[in-house]
Amino acid sequence: MKITIHNQNFVLHPCGASFWEEKKILLISDLHLGKIAHFRKHGMAIPEKAVQENFTRLNNVLHLFDAETIIFLGDLFHSKINNEWDFFADWTKTVTQQLILVEGNHDIISKKYYADLNIEIHTEIILDDFLLTHHPSKRENFFNLCGHIHPGIKLKGMGKQFLSLSCFFRKPDQLIFPAFGEFTGNFYLIPEENDKVYVLAKDEVIEIKR
């Protein structure tokens, strides 16, 4: 789905990423690499192949867009370094795009490791009248692109049926990105009058009317 914000076009992809057409930037939030390895270390029965799923999804969405830059809107890596860092380091060698990280609360790994992979790190980024952060933020005269919350919405059907889906959650001055990573969970939001919700279906993004 393509949406327009401040005369700029953003393509929302059902994987949870968005392509900013005019800037040729692929925006991804809350990848949480390392979380699956962390769970497995503590005995949770998660298939090892799940580790590669994040990288498969990254590559798939990269092939769709002519991106020159990838900006991760925080929580790129879940916690301390584990063996998933090696997979990530290998993946960075396969891409030609500039890689930038907007620091999130989970991004505790030493900046030296990112510098070794030529990844820029910022606390926030301002591009024209857009403010890119990890935590949702408000600043006068800026539209905020952010993550952190892992937004989701619950849809009520006939009877007692409920459907829970991840979503892009848009407020008048803010777009909150869904978590891109596997096994990240959702925080379910209730839209207000001027909010817009774009849910991630299997193969498409669908706007849900309030």
One-letter identity of residue 108: I
Residue 92 belongs to domain with CATH number: 3.60.21
Rounded to whole angstroms, the Cα distance separating 79 from 9 reads: 33
13-37 pLDDT, tens digit each:
999 999 999 999 999 999 988 765 5
Q: Is 58 left (phi over 0), alpha (psi -120 to 50) or beta?
A: alpha
pLDDT less than 70: residues of the chain:
35-50, 78-80, 158-159, 183, 210
Structural domain boundaries enclosing 12? 2-208
Q: Half-sphere exposure of residue 130, counting CA atoms within 13 Å on the CB side?
A: 19
> pTM to 2 decimals?
0.91
Phi, psi of 2 (to 5 degrees): -105, 130
What confidence tens digit (pLDDT) does each residue in 36-67 have?
554 555 455 455 666 788 899 999 999 999 99
Q: How many domains are there within the chain? A: 1
